[in-house]
Amino acid sequence: MKNRWLADFLSLFYPNYCYACGRKMPKSSRCICPECELHLPRTDYPFRSPNPMEQLFWGRVQVEAAAAYLHFRKGGSVQSIVHALKYGDRPEIGRYFGRLLGEALCAHAVFSQAEALVPIPLHPKKQRVRGYNQSEEIAEGMREAMGLPVWSRVLLRTVATDTQTKRSVYQRWENVQTVFRVASPSEVEGRHLILVDDVVTTGATLEAAAQTLKSVPGVRVSMAALAVDTL
């Protein structure tokens, strides 16, 4: 946001705070303190197939592979991290954890064969307010670890249309939540793409995005998220 320069300026004089536990941390630490880093609730999903995130999409959309780096729990450290990433004007958190996620997926038999990273787009209005798309920041971190390009203009979130005014409030909400389109189908035809999201709860957004991409001939989709809320 507009005050980022101020935050950067102040950080020269004020100590770093850990986004997970809120305590002061050494200047050399980035985003989270060594203690929190050590105790991050990492999943073993990149090393397990089928894993609970893949199972979440069974019968909904066919994907090559799916994995998340962290377990999401309400009130837990990952919720604090995600909150700062989405609402705290801290895009560098996305880069940081995106790199860790990418490192975990580098050696994966399926993910390592993919050709590009496609972040879930934000609604344009939301992105204007926030100043960045957190999923794109995660994808940029993954790019650094995996060497894959980030295609952030391939998938677009459609803007509400006139026909929606005739629908019920619930249908309208659902529509806004789940409608995507592919900007240039010829660019993605026949490709294996990794959809990148921040937190997966019901999986409705990833499911809709994957179905949209897979409507293009020959497209295969894998899914990677920073965190997942599964049991």
Span of 18-26, 50-58, 95-103, 183-191 interacting with Zn ion by CB under 5 A? 18-26
Between residue 148 and residue 177, which ones bind Zn ion under the rule CB under 5 A? none
Does residue 116 belong to the site contacting Zn ion (CB under 5 A)? Answer: no
Based on CB atoms, which residue is closest to Zn ion, 19 or 57? 19
Does residue 18 belong to the site contacting Zn ion (CB under 5 A)? Answer: yes
β-pair type (66-71, 220-228): parallel
Does residue 84 belong to the site contacting Zn ion (CB under 5 A)? Answer: no
CA distance 186 to 203: 27
The count of chain residues that interact with Zn ion, using the rule CB under 5 A, is: 5
CB of 42 to Zn ion, least distance (A): 15
Kindly give, in sequence order, each residue whose CB lies less than 8 Å from that of residue 44, ignoring residues fewer than 6 positions away: 51
**Binds Zn ion by CB under 5 A, chosen from 36, 56, 209, 228:** 36
Strands (E), the chain: 16-17, 24-25, 66-71, 116-119, 155-157, 180-182, 192-200, 220-228
Based on CB atoms, which residue is closest to Zn ion, 36 or 221? 36
Give Cα separations from 8 to 2, 13, 81 (angstroms). Answer: 11, 10, 19
Which residue has 């997970």 as its token pair? 20
Does residue 70 belong to the site contacting Zn ion (CB under 5 A)? Answer: no
**Binds Zn ion by CB under 5 A, chosen from 16, 17, 21, 115:** 21
Span of 1-9, 12-20, 99-107, 125-133 interacting with Zn ion by CB under 5 A? 12-20
Based on CB atoms, which residue is closest to Zn ion, 23 or 153? 23
Q: What are phi and psi of 227, to 5 degrees?
A: -145, 155
Measuring CA to CA, which residue among 54, 50, 70, 96 is closest to residue 206? 54
Based on CB atoms, which residue is closest to Zn ion, 18 or 118? 18
Give Cα separations from 57 to 45, 63, 160 (angstroms). Answer: 14, 8, 26
Residues lying near Zn ion in the complex (CB under 5 A) are found at 18, 20-21, 33, 36
